[in-house]
Structures are given as C-alpha cells and as structure tokens.
Amino acid sequence: MANNTAVTTLGVGTGVAAVPTLSQWALMLLSVLLAGFAAMRMRRVHMN
C-alpha cells in the first residue's frame, strides 16, 4: 500500500490587514437609530 502524501510549500506571508471597526459611540448611535426606525415601523403597522 503506497503512502500518497502531498506537500505544499508556501512563500513569504503578508502582514495582518487592519479591519475597520466602529467606535463605541458610533455603535450606540447606530443602535438608537435602528431602534427608532423599528419603533416607527411597528407603530405604523399597529395603526393600520
């Protein structure tokens, strides 16, 4: 029985890429806006 093994050699890797994130204040503002839109939508649906 033969041992079929593949070996891959990788070249020089690159550095870690920076991932853009939201600050805490921006995340809170986005949450408040989303909650406000959801409340307006629920109110509009409830009135019909």
pLDDT tens digits for range 6-39: 777 766 767 888 888 889 999 999 999 999 999 9
pLDDT of residue 47: 80
Alpha-carbon gap, residue 33 to 30, rounded angstroms: 5
pLDDT band, residue 44 (cuts 50/70/90):
confident
Q: Name, in order, each residue with C-beta under 8 angstroms of 30's C-beta and a sequence gap of 6 or more.
A: 22
Q: What is the pTM of this model?
A: 0.53
pLDDT of residue 35: 98
Alpha-carbon gap, residue 44 to 41, rounded angstroms: 5
